[in-house]
Amino acid sequence: MTAGTAPSLTQNIVPVEAGAHVTALGWLKGTAAFALGDGGVLLAKDGETHRVEAHPDAGVLVAVSDGERLLSGGDDGRVAVTGADGSTRTLAETKGAWIDSLAISSSGAFAYGAGRRVTARDDKGREKVLEVASTARGLAFAPKGYRLAIAHYNGATLWFPNVEAKPEQLEWKGSHLDVTWSPDARFVVTSMQENALHGWRLLPDKGHMRMSGYPSKTRSLTWSHDGKWLATSGAEAAIIWPFESKEGPMGKAPRECGVRPAKVSRVAFHPNAYVLAVGYEDGCILLIRLADASELLVRPAVQGSGITAMAWDKAGRHLAFGCEDGQAGILTLP
Amino acid sequence: MTDKIPVTVLTGYLGAGKTTLLNRILTEPHGKKYAVIVNEFGEIGIDNELVVGADEEVFEMNNGCICCTVRGDLIRILDGLMKRKGKFDAIIVETTGLADPAPVAQTFFMDQDVSDTARLDAVVTVADAKWLADRLKDAPEAKNQIAFADVIILNKTDLVTPEELDAVEARIRSINPYAKVHRTQNCAIPISEVLDRKAFDLDRIIELEPDFLEEGHHHHHDEDMQSISVRVDGEVDPEKFMPWISNLTQVEGPNILRCKGIVAFPNEPKRFVFQGVHMILDGDVQGDWKPGEKRDSKVVFIGRDLNEKAIREGFLACAV
């Protein structure tokens, strides 16, 4: 089935005029927060919007949410935090260095990268700094415990900020961009400059996993709620790797869902069902059920309106999305 | 293509006058807004412009080739700037005096996210008329910057005699006969000679270099930098040419700084135009041969330790 003939949910979308490139978005309980290339954060709830100047006269390069608040990093060298109530304040500041990597943990800790320097601040406000060998590109906290994965050139570093021990190096040649932990913390996976993913099995054997064959870079990674599947962007379909065995996906073929003549730019797994939201560079969004690969059309292709951000709310009833041209919207599942 | 942001790369050895040129570009009333990527803040006092610090992080690609490098910081910065598309018209990348321009240029061919949104306009090299000759002796980077340039600003001409100036320009020509050279004091030059040159546009190669297809350059080869141009008086066989150029750039890539060519294939109404940096080639058929125009074929290479005889014979053997 193609997007043209898929049953449609387009009537269930409330459009949101974000007004600028949507860099990232997150849900703050029932409020969708759109972080924008012009420095603003647009809060949307029940058809009402409220704009917050999180980075005045600057741009948001990266943003993450823990379900309560939205952290944004800007080209003004600041980390700002925005709440659903419209409050915003500065959490951290560098001397003008761009902040283009951020991570947030469920415990309230956060970390940000500026060049090679990674700063982690725990829930008690204790701050630790680690300088890695080359620019820190991706940051991700382990699902449990205060441990940070940092992607960079020639591998990744695993760091316990509050432990004196030397950080652990995961080596693999090439430039590593984004990083993610599997929900059971057994795997760390990075996206690479070279149109591939690289993974490390932390348990039991520290083995490598190389997932290649993408026609372009993979910049969006999402785990199914149970950690059995890792869905990825970068091809003209969502590429979904099986992670249920302890070896990971090695020797197994990935699933390809939502084949269309446009590249997948964002993927977002439903928080408690085997349903994947797939956003494309041509602006189209499909919902795909893994069980039978059936497709629902959320948004038809819109010229110049490629999908740049997507996120489900905690209950999985709403999907928010944002686009490069400042269009955005919220889908409510029927 | 048209809405890709043009990027000008500004190189030049320390003290040649890059900052002077940059300030000129930024302060002239051209009505455009630039995003400027610099290595050192503070050197330039720019108001109301988007200035970004770069760290010149060079990455080898994982294809096992030492010359296939990209600038990681540039990819990251351009990705960030694209989120603010519409706030500026063009980007200027100022590289440090010691930088190799190749990884910058290759970034625009090898990183798809970059090439989808930005296009390399030209490499502009500022050279110091008084000190260039010395730098060419002791600094290989300075020679690379000259060899790589599309536009050369031969600056500080007031500090040398006319004879010395002619001598230094001859030295430049012996390294890179294909760049446009402008003699200046205080980098005083119309901005249109520096920006929007479209030197990396395949379909502008002929337009920019009207004598590109003419023989008659006097090639005073520099001691270790060569420029080689070979002409086939007519068409070449694509079945022979494509494997030849591909193999040549694969094998000689590390030694080839830049190459360009315009080639006539039989029964092909358009020219085949290509250009490359080290082993990265970009080529396409475009621009019709004009009615009555002579369909001949020419390639040029700038590099080191190139086997001129083999290149010459290899290309001539592609003739139909």
What is the residue-averaged pLDDT of chain B? 88
3-state secondary structure of B132: helix
SS3 content of chain A, % helix, strand, coil (to 5): 0, 50, 45
Q: CB–CB of B62 and A137 under 8 A? A: no
CB contact under 8 Å between A21 and B85, yes or no, is: yes
> pLDDT at position B214, please?
53
Write out chain B residues lying below 8 Å of A61, CB-based.
80, 83
Confidence of residue A330 (pLDDT cuts 50, 70, 90): very high
The answer to whether the Cβ–Cβ distance between A217 and B112 falls below 8 Å is: yes
Using one digit for the tens of pLDDT, what is the confidence trace for B218-267? Answer: 556 677 888 898 999 999 999 999 999 999 999 999 999 999 999 999 99
Cα B211 from chain centre:
17
CB–CB contacts below 8 A, A to B: 58
Predicted pLDDT at B213: 47
- The per-residue DSSP string of A299-331 comes to E---TT--EEEEEE-TTSSEEEEEETTSEEEEE
Distance, CA of A12 to CA of A20 (rounded, Å): 23
Mutate to test the interface with B, among A193, A281, A323 (most CBs of B within 10 A): A193
Q: In this structure, how many other beta carbons lie within 10 angstroms of the beta carbon of residue B316?
A: 14
Question: Is residue B22 scored above 70 in pLDDT?
Answer: yes
Closest CA to B299 of A44, A311, B319: B319
The predicted-structure confidence for B156-185, as pLDDT tens digits, reads as follows 999 999 999 999 999 999 899 889 999 999
Q: Which positions in chain B have a beta carbon within 8 angstroms of at least one beta carbon in chain A?
A: 41, 52-53, 55, 57, 59, 61-62, 70, 72-73, 75-77, 80, 82-85, 111-113
Confidence category of residue A1, pLDDT binned at 50, 70, 90: very low
Q: Which residue from B61, B76, B85 is facing A194, i.e. has the nearest CB? A: B61
The model's pLDDT over B2-13, given as tens digits with 9 standing for 90+, comes to: 589 999 999 998
pLDDT given for residue A246 in this prediction = 87
Q: Do A153 and B59 touch (CB under 8 A)?
A: yes
- CA distances to B125, B156, B184, B211, B291 from B162, in Å: 21, 12, 13, 26, 44
Q: Are A110 and A104 in contact (CB under 8 A)?
A: yes
**Which residue in A115, A175, A217 is closest to B113 by CB distance?**
A217
Supply the pLDDT for residue A183: 95
DSSP state of B46: -
Contact A216 B76 (CB under 8 A): no
Q: What is the pLDDT of residue B65?
A: 77
Q: Is B29 exposed, middle or buried (0-12, 13-18, 19+ CB in 10 A)?
A: exposed
Structure confidence at residue B46 (pLDDT): 57
Q: pLDDT digits over A255-267, tens only?
A: 999 999 999 999 9
Contacts with A96 from chain B: Cβ below 8 Å: 41, 53
Q: Does pLDDT of B217 surpass 60?
A: no
Q: How far is B64 from chain A (nearest CA, A)?
A: 10
Sign, CA dihedral B146-B147-B148-B149, equals positive
Q: What is the pTM of this model?
A: 0.92
Cβ-defined contact of B76 to A137 (cutoff 8 Å): yes
Q: What is the mean pLDDT of residues B17-40?
A: 87
Residue B274 structure tokens: 């290509």
- Give CA–CA dist B296/B235, Å, rounded: 6
CB of B57 closer than 8 Å to CB of A153? yes
pLDDT at B119 over 60: yes
Q: Over pLDDT 70: what percentage of chain A? A: 98
Cβ contact, residue pair B61, A97, below 8 Å: no
Residue type, A30: G
Yes or no: say if A105 and A148 are a contact pair by the CB < 8 Å rule. no
| Backbone CA torsion sign across B266, B271, B275, B281 | negative
Condensed to tens digits (0 to 9), the pLDDT of residues A139-173 reads: 999 999 899 999 999 999 999 999 999 999 999 99
Q: Residue B264: what pLDDT?
A: 95
Pairwise CB contact (< 8 Å): A37 & B73: no
pLDDT given at position B208: 54
| pLDDT mean over B91-102 | 89
| B16 φ/ψ angles, rounded to the nearest 5 degrees | -70, -25
Give residue-wise pLDDT tens across range A36-46.
999 999 999 99
The DSSP line for B146-204 is HHH-SEEEEE-GGGS-HHHHHHHHHHHHHH-TTSEEEE-STT---GGGTSS--TT-GGG
Cβ of B76 within 8 Å of Cβ of A174? The answer is no
CB A25 within 8 A of CB A320: yes
**pLDDT exceeds cutoff 90 at A104:** yes
What pLDDT is recorded for position A69? Answer: 96
Of B97, B12, B111, B9, which is closest to residue B69 (Cα–Cα)?
A: B111
Question: pLDDT digits over A196-217, tens only?
Answer: 999 999 987 889 999 999 999 9
pLDDT, average across residues A66-74: 96
**What does the alpha-carbon distance between residue B278 and residue A257 come to, in Å, rounded to a whole number?**
38
Nearest Cα neighbor of B71 from B96, B50, B44, B40 is B96
Instruction: Please provide the average confidence, as pLDDT, over all residues in chain A.
Output: 95
Which chain A residues have any C-beta within 8 angstroms of a chain B C-beta? 21, 23, 37-38, 59-61, 75, 96-98, 100, 115, 134-135, 137, 153, 173-175, 192-194, 216-217
Per-residue pLDDT for A4 more than 60? no
Q: Give me the amino acid identity at A286.
A: L
Give the gap in angstroms from C-alpha B74 to the nearest C-alpha of chain A.
12
Query: CA A208 to CA A173: how far, in whole Å?
Result: 12
pLDDT tier at B301, thresholds 50, 70, 90: very high
pLDDT at residue B207 in the model: 62
Neighbours of A57 (CB within 10 A): 10
HSE toward the beta carbon, residue B68, CA cutoff 13 A: 17
- Which residue from B minimizes the CA distance to A39? B84
ipTM for the predicted complex comes to 0.92
pLDDT reported for residue B41: 60
> Would you say residue B294 has pLDDT above 90?
no
Q: How confident is the model at residue B92 (pLDDT cuts 50, 70, 90)?
A: very high
Which residue has better confidence, A238 or B49?
A: A238
pLDDT at B12: 92
Q: What is the pLDDT of residues A170-183, one digit of tens each?
A: 999 999 999 999 99
Q: Per-residue pLDDT for A97 more than 80?
A: yes
More reliable by pLDDT, A167 or B87? A167
Q: How far is A7 from chain B (nearest CA, A)?
A: 32
Residue in B73, B84, B112 closest to A59 by CB: B84
The predicted pLDDT at position B211 comes to 55
Q: Using alpha carbons, select from A5, A89, A41 the residue that is nearest to residue A309.
A: A41
**Is the confidence at residue B40, as pLDDT, over 90?**
no
User: How many Å from the N-terminal Cα to the C-terminal Cα in chain A?
Assistant: 21
In this predicted structure, the answer to whether residue B38 has a pLDDT above a threshold of 90 is: no
**A313-327, B56-70, B80-94 — most confident range:** A313-327
